[in-house]
Structure 1
Amino acid sequence: MTLELPGSVRIAPRALRQAVRAVAAETLGAPPSEVRAEVLERGGSLALRIAGPMRRTHQPLLVAAEDARRHLLERAGAITGAALAGCELRITACIAHEAPRAR
């Protein structure tokens, strides 16, 4: 049973941007402080513009970046509940895997 209550819910743009930034940092394997995220309104829907470094994988960079872009769009939409129309991803640097440390 759903109870209808008067009022509305509004998510501040900053909160939406911070959620998207956290998802982007997790997806790219980068520190959140190095990731920039924008949520843009485009024709009644929202789009993402993300820039930041990406942790290297064994895939070619372009393939890994496209996989990250698709995952980002899906995950950010699921977390925020927003209908996202697209995602522009700009990789600013590659982060090397850390070598295991001896104990």
Structure 2
Amino acid sequence: PCRHFTPMLKKFVETLQSNGEHSLKVIFISSDQSEHDMWKYVYDAHGDWLALSYSCRDIKERLERQYQVSGIPQLVVIDAVGRQAVRDARGEVMAASSSSTQVL
């Protein structure tokens, strides 16, 4: 599912950036089986996104609990002070990728 969604998210972010929206940051948190797999995926598919270090599994697990992550891929939108603004924005990004309307 991630391999299908990531290109849509990348295009969505690039479209926002080309329209002058530079405050949006994507932070990738891996569920890959190894650090090598994570970095390969980051370099191949993610552009200039930030990524939580693979070794920070305790932080990953805390964030999953805090933001109620229930599956992958899951896109959580967080505001500037860390409050969850959208629990799962994947549907909105997928809808935006099939239309010219900006959803988020």
**Structure with the larger helix share:** 2
* TM-score, normalised via structure 2 length: 0.27
* TM-score, normalised via structure 1 length: 0.27
**Structure with the larger strand share:** 1
